[in-house]
């Protein structure tokens, strides 16, 4: 039973999204306890925001040598991954547009200085299209037909569904492999789009994952597994659980010395004032947004 | 009974923190249902992050006319308010140090490019000290004794407790009011520190709150009150509730037209793939970090 | 004769541009030596770039309390002043468009991440219009007729010529003074634009100039005057001169201690390798762009 | 004679610095006219600032896969190359220190938010050392002895002189080639530093130069050669000349369409007001800082 829990905890990382775990649970088909480590704050921030902020640049450079300055880019999705991609490209001098379905994320994109558009409004003018939605068929053939010559198309989201690559495997289009992980798809009129990693994850296919990020992700998962294994009978049922806040904080604290970072300790008086234990957890479980 | 709920929902905004509501609830002293609107994502982001990103600059300029470029600043606390202050000052060319007690926020500060220090490590060298902790006695007399001449001290946190202003009201120190909301506190050797708003909130005392932020906050509260008022008997007990995700999204969507922002709609196929209703909510209730 | 030189050196600062000095010189009407202190690197950077980076935010906040996040802004002119305005607003989450006549500055705007447009392409959609061109009639009545309701119009350039304010003083438009330095100009259909400082310099009218900037500017001018006064007969003719590089460096070195900044000294071997005197000047006179 | 001028114009690009041309000229040994294309604004900005802003990240990632977030970095030299490196790393969340010999550049580093230090103040704590000085022996053995384990050392300056690599070729140190262009130099106590490209230029050895930058550089040189070739007898003597401003502007204008950038044209009235030809040059020859 518990070893099943172990298996699932690992899988959630691979899938990049715990959505199906919750679906299984809702459908009553989850036969073991599962820990959603994907939504712990440290995992989210490092595996998604901080890692992608760097790997979007790295992945694009290694495959295309494109210069970022002055380029027009559309980023589909403004979750943690999209936020990382947008921040990095903006800093490098790109002009970035964002598409979103969720009004909360959309409003954040606005406040961070990105024009919120529908894909069809900018598809003719952009130099780079990046998907980070976790959705399917975000970039479909219709859009690719209208892209300009040389447009780079890649996926930073959770699987190979976001770009409808299948729609490009038709007789009238020619594929030309120009470099490992880089295909030119050529229209009858000679227009080319540059498809990276055949629509699979750019950050895994064409970039590297820093050891620091792997350390955080692995630590988070290991702690989740230890918790599931050590928990007394009955603490966890056949359901999906978030990583306890204290473990999340522990993962973070283990990685602070890397930066020679010095944490401040609460005085007894301050801990009492805040109603906190001096050793944490420092935030209530409901408190995620402010920590994010 | 319900009108009590109304009252509490409003108060939570004034207090800036729902901590005491949870304490009341835990102590069994909460006699009406209460909505914690403070921790809705839109409220958090706008009232804290986005608003403070602008008001820290505004408040400091109006009171002191200080130039930000090249200045050394320490920001105590790296929650949403601290993140906003740090981002703004970094963008203006300040060198920013951060103090934190929570390792998760601390690690974020590191990844955002700020040295994480204890206050005593930098107190002698900084030009500006800003508190955003929600804690008490963060800047105590001992630290103020060691600040350099002309150091500016102000509070962006949740009340007037963060700077121990009482400790400055002693006979050996002279207070000189140099402008509305600006006091010079003068040491016997002639050293002056510049205390703003007598340690009360800088953003409320010395800056303005944009109407856009007020609109978001007011909308959030109004919806919370309407929900409490309209809810069928028994939906809410004498407890503290988070604003339903769908209302949070609704508040955001009402404000998108201001930016001429165009939201993308899910296709039927996509909604089914994600297991979502096309009208939202687009995120599960547990999902806060990625939206944040 | 020399006292005339003194007078002119001071005036060049007031005018903000030495163009007319060169015009006088070219026309043979310059009757004394003049020092163009405006184009010394420290003066340019501080009085223009660094100062305006802060004062654009300050001037807009004090007059309008506008929130910058998500706002669409067009900045006319991408010299030092325009660069400062653009950088500040971008950092605060505005979406910034730039207009330019000079292709070199235009290309820099592109590489810094700004869409280069003609004013008429964006005039209907922007929330704020800022002029920094040194030119006249950049924002004419035709453009103001097409601005949207509530659009803020201000001038950060060198005089009151950039916005054609005279064209707004016609019978069909109503002026309403809503605050010191802030006028609403009201069209017959009720549309209002918010005109700041009646088109005069926002940074001088509605913001403050930091003492640090004044110190740099004043030091630069004083050194120029001393040089003109002390120079042996014949060193300076009835012409316009740039501040000697070494004086420019000296002004900078006098201000480094403010930031506790530690300059590195050349070793004898390094000085010889570079063909430099260890005490400077460190750059040839032609070298301006790399230092800028 | 003229063909010699051609040769020299090309060489100046290869050397990256025209210093020796001026030295030849001063020594009376320059036997042909030479054009200093290196200091044209477009060349400076693209080959140095904009290109290095991207290639520092690219070069470091391809060789070391280092994560930038939270890393402490010292950049030696704050010319155009140093400015590009600092801006990029700051944007990626690194904490950046700067060393400089020139007080003007030093003051700019301060205003841009970087602590100005001497190398020995930070050498023990930094994770990455980058040289961009154009000088020799900036990072000597003494400093490398004090670096911490794993410190990355690389050169973005003009030749292989900045890091004293020869001092590392001693019997007590072991070299281990861990990847193409990456050596571990190992101290007797096991400490390793990571030396990139054996101290040669990182941007040429371990990164790529975008075609856009090559286009600008090549265009600039071609125009310089055409000018030297076509110039009437006597226009150019055996001296070093800066590229005429108008050609510099022309190079820029040729590259604007890439960004779909729309230049504004002066009206007759405006051209007259500014005393300019409507087709440029738009800046006097002395005007470099504001364009930079």
Under 8 Å CB pairs connecting chains C and D tally to: 196
Domain assignment of residue A17, yes or no: yes
Please tell me the predicted confidence (pLDDT) of residue D15.
Answer: 42
Under 8 Å CB pairs connecting chains A and B tally to: 196
What's the structural domain count of chain B?
Answer: 2
| Whether residue B95 is found in the same domain as residue B185 | yes
Q: Which among B260, B254, B259 has a CA at the least distance from the CA of B215?
A: B254
- What average pLDDT does range A267-288 have in this prediction? 86
Answer whether C61 sits within 8 Å of B54, measured CB to CB. yes
Probe site for chain A from C111, C114, C115 (most A CB atoms < 10 A): C111
Contact C192, C185 (CB under 8 A): yes
Among the residue ranges B217-231, C11-25, C170-184, C221-235, the one predicted with the least confidence is: C11-25
Domain assignment of residue D286, yes or no: no
Probe site for chain A from C66, C68, C70, C112 (most A CB atoms < 10 A): C70
CB contacts of B79 in chain A (<8 Å) are 290-291
| A121 close contact with C: CB closer than 8 A | no
| Mean of per-residue pLDDT scores for chain C | 90
Contact C62, C197 (CB under 8 A): no
Residue C153 Cα, gap to closest chain A Cα (Å): 20
Highest mean pLDDT among B199-208, C237-246, D119-128: D119-128
Please tell me the predicted confidence (pLDDT) of residue C23.
Answer: 81
| Whether residue D196 is found in the same domain as residue D233 | no
Please tell me the predicted confidence (pLDDT) of residue D286.
Answer: 64
Domain assignment of residue A97, yes or no: yes
- The CA distance from B258 to D208, in Å, is 42
Among the residue ranges A117-121, B234-238, C226-230, D15-19, the one predicted with the least confidence is: D15-19
Answer whether C95 sits within 8 Å of A112, measured CB to CB. no
| Whether residue C164 is found in the same domain as residue C27 | no
Answer whether D50 sits within 8 Å of A69, measured CB to CB. yes
| Whether residue A189 is found in the same domain as residue A237 | no
CB contacts of B265 in chain A (<8 Å) are 101
Domain assignment of residue D2, yes or no: no
Closest in A36, A102, A255 to B249, CB measured = A102
Summarised one tens digit per residue, pLDDT across range A3-29 is: 344 445 544 443 446 777 888 888 888
Question: Is the pLDDT confidence value at B20 over 80?
Answer: no
| Whether residue A119 is found in the same domain as residue A232 | no
Domain assignment of residue A146, yes or no: yes
Domain span holding position A116: 44-206
Please tell me the predicted confidence (pLDDT) of residue D20.
Answer: 77
| B284 close contact with D: CB closer than 8 A | no
| D201 close contact with A: CB closer than 8 A | no
Please tell me the predicted confidence (pLDDT) of residue D119.
Answer: 98
**Rounded to a whole number, what is the largest CA-CA distance in chain D?**
74
Question: Is the pLDDT confidence value at B292 over 50?
Answer: no
Answer whether D104 sits within 8 Å of C265, measured CB to CB. no
With pLDDT > 90 as the criterion, what percentage of chain D qualifies?
72
CB contacts of B95 in chain D (<8 Å) are 113-115
Instruction: Count CB-CB contacts under 10 A for residue D150.
Output: 14
Please identify, among C180, C206, C232, the residue that sits at the C-terminal boundary of a domain. C206
Residue C285 Cα, gap to closest chain D Cα (Å): 10
Residue A12 has, within 13 A of its CA and on its CB side, a CA count of 33
Answer whether B58 sits within 8 Å of C53, measured CB to CB. no
Residue A263 Cα, gap to closest chain B Cα (Å): 6
Closest in C58, C65, C70 to B259, CB measured = C70
Residue C156 Cα, gap to closest chain A Cα (Å): 22
Phi and psi, residue D201, nearest 5°: -65, 120
Contact B48, B33 (CB under 8 A): no
Question: Is the pLDDT confidence value at A159 over 70?
Answer: yes
| Whether residue A162 is found in the same domain as residue A222 | no
Domain assignment of residue A285, yes or no: no
How does residue B290 score in pLDDT terms, banded at 50, 70 and 90?
very low
CB contacts of A287 in chain B (<8 Å) are 39
Answer whether B69 sits within 8 Å of C57, measured CB to CB. no
What's C259's domain CATH number? 3.40.50.1480
CB contacts of D111 in chain B (<8 Å) are 69-70, 93
Domain assignment of residue D125, yes or no: yes
Contact A119, A100 (CB under 8 A): no
| Whether residue A188 is found in the same domain as residue A269 | no
Closest in C54, C61, C88 to B67, CB measured = C54
Q: How many helices (H) and strands (E) does chain D have?
A: 12, 10
Q: What is the pTM of this model?
A: 0.93
| B212 close contact with A: CB closer than 8 A | no
Please count the residues of chain C.
292
Q: Which among C17, C220, C77 has a CA at the least distance from the CA of D291?
A: C77
- The CA distance from C141 to D225, in Å, is 46
Closest in B93, B111, B112 to D113, CB measured = B93
Name the A residues in 66-105 with CB < 8 Å from any B CB. 79-80, 99-105
With pLDDT > 70 as the criterion, what percentage of chain A qualifies?
91
- What average pLDDT does range D61-72 have in this prediction? 97
Please count the residues of chain A.
292
Residue D253 Cα, gap to closest chain A Cα (Å): 14
Please identify, among C183, C206, C229, the residue that sits at the C-terminal boundary of a domain. C206
Q: Which among D229, D289, D255 has a CA at the least distance from the CA of D44?
A: D289
| Mean of per-residue pLDDT scores for chain A | 90
Please tell me the predicted confidence (pLDDT) of residue C289.
Answer: 41
The DSSP call for residue A273 is: H
3-state secondary structure of D150: coil
In SS3 terms, A145-200 reads as HHCCCCEEEEECCCCCCCECHHHHCCCCCEEEEEECCEEEEECCCCCEEEEEHHHC
CA-based nearest residue in chain D for residue B106 = D70
Residue D128 Cα, gap to closest chain B Cα (Å): 14
CB contacts of A270 in chain B (<8 Å) are 135-137
Please tell me the predicted confidence (pLDDT) of residue A253.
Answer: 96
- What average pLDDT does range C241-248 have in this prediction? 90
| Whether residue B234 is found in the same domain as residue B254 | yes
> How big is chain A by its Cα radius of gyration, in Å?
21
Closest in D111, D116, D265 to C101, CB measured = D265
CA-based nearest residue in chain C for residue A69 = C111
Domain assignment of residue A173, yes or no: yes
- What average pLDDT does range D206-231 have in this prediction? 91
| Whether residue B110 is found in the same domain as residue B97 | yes
- What average pLDDT does range A134-150 have in this prediction? 97
b vs e for C174-202, b when ≥16 Cβ sit within 10 Å of the residue's Cβ? eeeeeeebbbbbbeeeebbbbbbbbbbbb
- What average pLDDT does range A59-64 have in this prediction? 97
Please tell me the predicted confidence (pLDDT) of residue A286.
Answer: 64
| A252 close contact with B: CB closer than 8 A | yes
What's C116's domain CATH number? 3.40.50.720
Residue C272 Cα, gap to closest chain B Cα (Å): 32
Residue that the structure tokens 């061109």 belong to: C133
Name the D residues in 24-53 with CB < 8 Å from any C CB. 36, 39, 41-42, 44-46, 48, 50
| Whether residue A245 is found in the same domain as residue A115 | no
With pLDDT > 90 as the criterion, what percentage of chain C qualifies?
71
- What average pLDDT does range C138-162 have in this prediction? 96
Answer whether C94 sits within 8 Å of A113, measured CB to CB. yes
Answer whether A115 sits within 8 Å of C93, measured CB to CB. no
The complex's ipTM works out to 0.90
CA-based nearest residue in chain C for residue A96 = C113
Summarised one tens digit per residue, pLDDT across range B140-194 is: 999 999 999 999 999 999 888 999 999 999 999 999 999 999 999 999 999 999 9
Please tell me the predicted confidence (pLDDT) of residue B287.
Answer: 62
Summarised one tens digit per residue, pLDDT across range C249-290 is: 999 999 999 999 999 999 999 999 998 999 999 987 766 543
Summarised one tens digit per residue, pLDDT across range D165-189 is: 999 999 999 999 999 999 999 999 9
| Whether residue C79 is found in the same domain as residue C195 | yes
| Whether residue B53 is found in the same domain as residue B183 | yes
Answer whether C45 sits within 8 Å of D289, measured CB to CB. yes
| C121 close contact with A: CB closer than 8 A | no
Question: Is the pLDDT confidence value at B197 over 80?
Answer: yes
Residue C33 Cα, gap to closest chain D Cα (Å): 17
Answer whether C260 sits within 8 Å of B125, measured CB to CB. yes
Please tell me the predicted confidence (pLDDT) of residue A61.
Answer: 97
| A110 close contact with C: CB closer than 8 A | yes
Please identify, among C148, C177, C206, the residue that sits at the C-terminal boundary of a domain. C206
């Amino acid at each position: 039973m518990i070893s099943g829990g172990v298996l699932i905890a690992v899988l959630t990382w691979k899938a990049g999204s715990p959505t199906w775990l919750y679906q299984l649970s809702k459908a009553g088909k989850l036969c073991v306890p599962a820990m959603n480590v994907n939504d712990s704050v440290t995992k989210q921030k490092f595996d998604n925001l901080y890692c992608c902020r760097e790997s979007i640049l790295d992945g694009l450079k290694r495959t295309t040598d494109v210069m970022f300055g002055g380029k027009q880019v559309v980023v589909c999705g403004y979750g943690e991954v999209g936020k990382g991609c947008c921040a990095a490209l903006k800093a490098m001098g790109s002009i970035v547009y964002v598409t979103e379905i969720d009004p909360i994320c959309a409003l954040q994109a606005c406040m961070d200085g990105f024009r919120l558009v529908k894909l069809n409004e900018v598809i003719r003018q952009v130099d780079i299209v990046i998907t980070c939605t976790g959705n399917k068929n975000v970039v479909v053939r219709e859009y690719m037909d209208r892209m300009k010559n040389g447009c780079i198309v890649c996926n930073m989201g959770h699987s190979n569904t976001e770009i409808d690559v299948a729609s490009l495997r038709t007789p009238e289009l020619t594929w030309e492999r120009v470099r490992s992980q880089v295909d030119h798809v050529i229209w009858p009129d000679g227009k080319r789009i540059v498809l990276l990693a055949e629509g699979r994850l750019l950050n895994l296919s064409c970039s590297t994952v820093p050891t620091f990020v792997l350390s955080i992700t692995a630590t988070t998962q290991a702690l989740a597994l230890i918790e599931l294994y050590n928990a007394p009978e009955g603490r966890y049922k056949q359901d999906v659980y978030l990583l306890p806040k204290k473990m999340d904080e522990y993962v973070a604290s283990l990685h602070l010395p890397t930066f020679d970072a010095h944490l401040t300790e609460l005085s007894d008086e301050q801990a009492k004032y805040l109603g906190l234990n001096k050793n944490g957890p420092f935030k209530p479980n409901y408190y995620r947004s402010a920590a994010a």
